[in-house]
A and B are shown apart, each in its own frame.
Chain A
Amino acid sequence: MANSVSPNDFKRRSFVAKRLVEAGARFEEVAGAAAAMAFSDDGAEEKAALEGCGLADLSPLPRFGIKGRGGPEWLAGQGVAIPETVNTALRQEDGSLAARLSPSEILVLGDLRGGERCGALYTSWARARMDDPSAARGYALRRDDSHAWFRLTGANAPEVFAKLCAVDLRPHRFPALSVAQTSVARSSAIVIREDLAADVVGYHLLIDSASARYLWDCLIDAMAEFDGKAVGLRILRQQNAG
């Protein structure tokens, strides 16, 4: 598989692009940036890693945040299903995910294809604000840039977290679509459990983008004892579809 693109071909670049290149990632364009699609020609190794312990960088995929008075209501008006309880998430029909971080704050994670939804939310929020600055619709947040987005999957993922995070994230204690705002390897982080498939536990991990490389290195180090590996978007998409 030849590399068709490289991170430097785009203005938007992942916060861990250097690490992905070092790990031998093959990139493809997704949503105007180079996403690490795979780390080997043969998907078998990655599939094994994914089920045991896999770490993927989803930072190039779009996401959207809104916070402040009227924010969740405005977002609901845009057709996003809003979780009622704070620190839970809801799957959306298009494959995106909405997580409620506080009564007035929602984080939307786009789907694995890099769909238009989050970009569209940003545009329509900005347009609405231009048209009527005084209405209460919360304030859009640049989640694409404030946070890096990792996906940690596989049977050993809870044990990897147990080396980095004091919150009990094991599946029987942290149900699917739970959200924890906590500290991972002493960095503030948002952890959302969304399983990749019925039998593959998975977590989204959102961390301060400036700390992305630090945390990537911590995760790779913590995964080593489980033969954890970096995995690409391709295998995630396959698993998600299957």
Chain B
Amino acid sequence: MNEHRLPEPYGLHLDRTRPLSCTFEGVRVQGYAGDTLMSALLSTGQHLVSRSFKYHRPRGPITMAGLDANTYVQNGTEPNALADRILLAEGLVANAQNVSGSLKGDRDRWIQHVSKFLPVGFYYKAFYKPKGIWGFWEKIIRAKAGLGKVDQSTPHSYHDKAYLFADVTVIGGGPAGLSAALEAAEAGCEVVLVDDQPLLGGSLNSGRDSETGGGDKRVTEGERLRKALAEQPKVTILTDARCTGWFSDNWLSIVCGRRLYKLRAGQVVLATGALEQPMVFRNNDLPGIMTGTAVQRCLRLWAVKPGRRAIVATCNAQGYAAALDLADAGTEVAAIVDLNPEPYDCPERRAAQARGLRILPGHTVWEARADGSKNRLGSATLRGLNAAGEADGAEERIECDVLAVSIGFTPLAQLLCHAGGRLIYNEALAGLKVDHVPEGAFVAGAVNGAYDLDTVLAEGRHAGWAAAQAAGFKDRKSPGKPQKTAERVNHPWPIFPHPEGKDFVDIDEDQTVADIHNAIADGFEHLELMKRYTTVGMGPSQGRTSALNAVRITARANGGSPAGYTVTTQRPPFVPESFGHLAGRAFDPERLTAMHERHLELGAQMMPAGLWWRPGYYGPERERAEAIRAEAEAVRRNVGLIDVSTLGGIDVRGPDAREFMQRLYTFNYLKQPVGKSRYLLLCEETGTISDDGVGCCFADDHFYVTATTGGADGVYRSMLRWNAEWNLDVDIANVTAAYAGVNIAGPNSRKVLETLESDLDFSAEGFPYLAVREGTLEGIPVRAMRVGFVGELGFELHCPAGQGEALWDLLMKAGAAQGIRPFGVEAQRLLRLEKGHIIIGQDTDGLTTPDEASMAWAVGRKKPFFLGQRAILVREREGTDRKLTGFTLPMRAPLPEECNLVIRDGEIAGRVTSASQAVGVEAIIGLAYVHPKDAEPGTTFKIKLSNGSMVEATAAAIPFYDPENKRQEL
């Protein structure tokens, strides 16, 4: 066994029967199952694991709890993985980040020596002049500063999401959390317990018991609670899981493995504990300097001796406990530096004294120095403190390779703050205290300021009971509220600014005491402003190890006390979430028509239309233009078939159906004959066109209404919304998905239909233009309507969706002799443009009135009311500065694109909404918004093309093709 590894019973997490090896920075590292990468490195005596963000200073672990950013490494393809969380696995390959050359001899470590030329705000001040110069500096700075690198060749991995539910959720599996979970479970609640470590227990696993001296009582209690919880059938335990956010109505995000859980909790008990804080002195970031609790975790969880010779700096029982633990493990404790002038009185201090450990009351660490390798703590200079707490006393330098710091804690209440809780600096406690707990939340244990084990356990039980009560499980008797609660463990000013700096407040961001002072001198005296100016608290650990000291320094620099200061706003995520978790298994619904497979078999290029997929055209992409043209020509000269299933379909049925139509749409429907269809134009109350379609009157009390593909759901909802107010006697049913539909169009369409067995008479007399009929086609029930969207003889046939594919097959087969050709959305757009039919949303925008779109004909003037009526009238009266007009260009002119601007007297007058080379006429045709004076057919106006050149277009009457509409009425 190597000198850094301790024998059993040290190493609660380790399975010593399973040795493992991994590679860090190209060097093989041995460890055991249960080790983290960091504990395995420590077991080789190596603390150095990273280089700092800005100055490339050597860094080692501080918390050993995955809560500081010093342990960020590149784990295979995963950047920014925490070495004290990565479980060792055979063959794992990890590397240091932000290093040029090697971790041990980083070539960029010179940067720290010019740090005095890199004051706070340096980038803002130095690199913005002359204008544009930032682009030059940015590349250099980004290469030198930063964290992990994204490996763009990373293979995709499967991440997913799941919902979880609980009456009570407990976050944190330490003594408070375990007893809260057990109490709530015993009250009958469904409980989810979330802990970020692989083994439940928290400080029960790593702490020292103040009475027995070892960890015995804690270990026993941990075992008892784990066993009791395991026997509870309604408890779900998530270990190695991180709660990253606490949102409205107790909605929690939890990252566990490759899954993101979204947990809805009735009540939440927060038992996340507290995090020990660094002390501020010169070179307080050297590898080997860590918190007292981190030292204890090293010893008890992973059986790692963090060093040979230690100094402990403290002001509380925790520090003395860490010193005793070090001594027990065989580390020489050279000195215990107690910041209190009178040493802190507690059983641990008395035990230390009895063991003859050297205690220096009223002293501090003034400066740390590196050893010969420059990468590890080598010695510490101590100084006596004066009555004002300033380090101006006698100096003593002591060699050591580990420095344990226990000068106070900060509650890990970030999640509570997400939910509306508040942390406020409490002078009596000399630290941050949970000040407000929102409804549905409970706090227990160290996060609530309790450190004594019995108090923590009692708080946990009480919080679990109270949460169960609030969740409606009221039968259980209260376990009693603990008398003692918060105790003072913090030193009010563990900050010893050094004239030569490197006294880091924010270790993530390499920010020192002077940086905060400079920010305040620059006028950023408010905590939120100071944070943004200096970036203190903005690094990956989000202020967990810096906020407390930053509050103290800021308050003092502002000439006041930190009392009443709150921390800067806490936002999710509490710890980083990977993109995989956020992006993994996203749901993107898509809708397919009944004929979808047929389109694919015919080689269609599918295009999205809202959630739907529709055939754009049939044929290879390289033949796009030819395919569209050929499809359009087939409709003009012969017969084509298009899938129109995506059109919205709404049945409006009931005695008030006509009245409902009358109020909703702009036209007149009271006298629309049964068996006929009529154009529908829907406006918003603002008078803006919002949708269009066709209303088929199948009976006095039955209208079958179509809506645009993208507008159907909105129109349906709008109908329901208005009728919830009007209470007309109608039923409104969205039958969009219930009906598949095709449009068979072209001069030969009738011929094709007439070959089929049907009770419908498709002749010109039997089925005139705009007629609608219900019948069957070869046994398939259809709603048939003669429509003219593409401007040829055509029938739209809507049938039950389950038979849509059969209908398509039937028509394709029946039309084969005629040479029927399927056509897609692109050809349809061209054909309708030739007829001057607008597409809502393409030829209209969020302001278009019927008047502007030249659709005043579709507005019923004498109706008492319809949606948008008054606004239409007012807007008409006020006039408009644009009109939608048809235009033409010669066939060989350049083709304008949609949204090319119409220019009049050097000003923008409008834009092109549709443009295409026509098939039915010899010209380029289009629709555009122009100045009303330019809308008169024959007037010319200018279009600015995408390449900047101008082309002259001529306003034209629509329809461009078959202006007398003879062909559709054949």
Give the B-binding residues of A (Cβ under 8 A): 10-15, 18, 33, 59, 67-69, 133-134, 138-139, 141-142, 144-147, 159, 162-166, 168, 170, 173, 185-187, 208-211, 213-214, 218, 221-222
Contact = CB atoms under 8 A, between A and B. Distances in A.
A15 B645 CA distance: 14
B593 A163 contact: no
B589 interface: yes
Given A15-B802, A166-B262, A185-B589, 17 more contacts: A11-B780, A13-B802, A13-B805, A15-B801, A68-B731, A69-B731, A138-B731, A145-B803, A162-B163, A163-B162, A186-B587, A186-B588, A208-B591, A209-B801, A209-B802, A213-B592, A214-B592
A145 B593 contact: no
Contacts of B165: 168, 170, 173
Nearest to A14: B802
Nearest to B802: A12
B733 A141 contact: yes
Q: Determine the interface band of chain B, counting residues with CB < 8 A from chain A.
A: 35 or more
B832 interface: no
B620 to A, nearest CB: 23
Contacts of B654: 68-69, 139
A67 B652 CA distance: 12
Contact of A144 (B161, B585, B780, B802): B802
A142 B731 contact: no
Counting chain A CB atoms within 10 Å of each CB, which of B160, B591, B593, B645 scores highest? B591
A214 B613 CA distance: 12
A125 to B, nearest CB: 12
Contacts of B590: 211, 214
A155 B264 CA distance: 22
A209 B802 CA distance: 9
B737 A209 contact: yes
Contacts of A59: 802
A122 to B, nearest CB: 11
Contact of A209 (B160, B587, B653, B738): B738
Contact of B733 (A18, A139, A147, A210): A139
Contacts of B805: 13
Interface string B572-602: 0000000000000101111111101100000
B800 interface: yes
A164 B162 CA distance: 7
Contacts of A33: 802
Interface string B701-737: 1000000000000000000000000000101010111
10 contacts: A69-B654, A141-B733, A141-B735, A146-B735, A146-B738, A166-B163, A209-B738, A210-B801, A214-B591, A222-B160
Contacts of B806: 10-13
Nearest to B653: A139
A184 to B, nearest CB: 9
A140 to B, nearest CB: 9
A231 B587 CA distance: 24
A133 B594 CA distance: 32
B164 interface: yes
Contact of B737 (A11, A67, A208): A208
B591 A210 contact: yes
A165 B162 CA distance: 8
A128 B653 CA distance: 15
A134 B596 CA distance: 40
Contact of B161 (A15, A134, A163): A163
Contacts of B592: 210, 213-214
B76 interface: no
Given A69-B731, A144-B800, A210-B612, A185 B262 contact: no
Interface string B783-819: 0000000000000000011110110000000000000
A170 B162 CA distance: 13
B739 interface: yes
B699 interface: yes
Contacts of B597: 18
A218 B729 contact: no
Interface string B585-629: 101111111101100000000000001100000000000000000
State the 10 A-B residue pairs at the shortest beta-carbon distance, nearest first: A68-B731, A146-B738, A210-B591, A11-B806, A145-B800, A145-B801, A145-B738, A186-B587, A142-B738, A12-B802
Given A142-B800, A144-B800, A145-B802, A210 B161 contact: no
Nearest to B649: A146
A218 B587 contact: yes
A15 B611 CA distance: 17
Contacts of A166: 163, 262, 264
Nearest to A66: B731
A59 B779 CA distance: 20
B731 A139 contact: yes
Contacts of B596: 213
Counting chain B CB atoms within 10 Å of each CB, which of A11, A13, A67 scores highest? A11
A35 to B, nearest CB: 12
B564 to A, nearest CB: 40
Given A139-B653, A210-B801, A15 B589 contact: no
B503 interface: no
A238 to B, nearest CB: 26
Contacts of B729: 69
B655 interface: yes
Contacts of B589: 185-187, 211, 214
B651 interface: yes
Nearest to B162: A163
Contacts of B731: 67-69, 138-139
A65 B180 CA distance: 49
Nearest to B713: A188
Contact of B591 (A69, A211, A221): A211
A163 B160 contact: yes
Contacts of A67: 731, 733
B655 A134 contact: yes
Interface string B295-325: 0000000000000000000000000000000
Nearest to B590: A214
Contact of B779 (A11, A170, A209): A11
Contacts of A145: 737-739, 800-803
A145 B739 CA distance: 7
A181 to B, nearest CB: 14
Contacts of B593: 210
A59 B163 CA distance: 28
B118 to A, nearest CB: 49
A107 B258 CA distance: 39
Contacts of B779: 11
A207 B803 CA distance: 17
Contact of B163 (A18, A138, A165): A165
B587 A133 contact: no
B738 A68 contact: no
Counting chain B CB atoms within 10 Å of each CB, which of A145, A213, A214, A222 scores highest? A145
Interface string B730-750: 010101111100000000000
A165 B738 CA distance: 24
A214 B587 CA distance: 9
Contacts of A168: 163, 165, 264
Interface string B651-689: 101110000000000000000000000000000000000
Counting chain A CB atoms within 10 Å of each CB, which of B597, B729, B805 scores highest? B805
A210 B654 CA distance: 27
A221 B160 CA distance: 10
Contacts of B739: 142, 145
B801 A162 contact: no
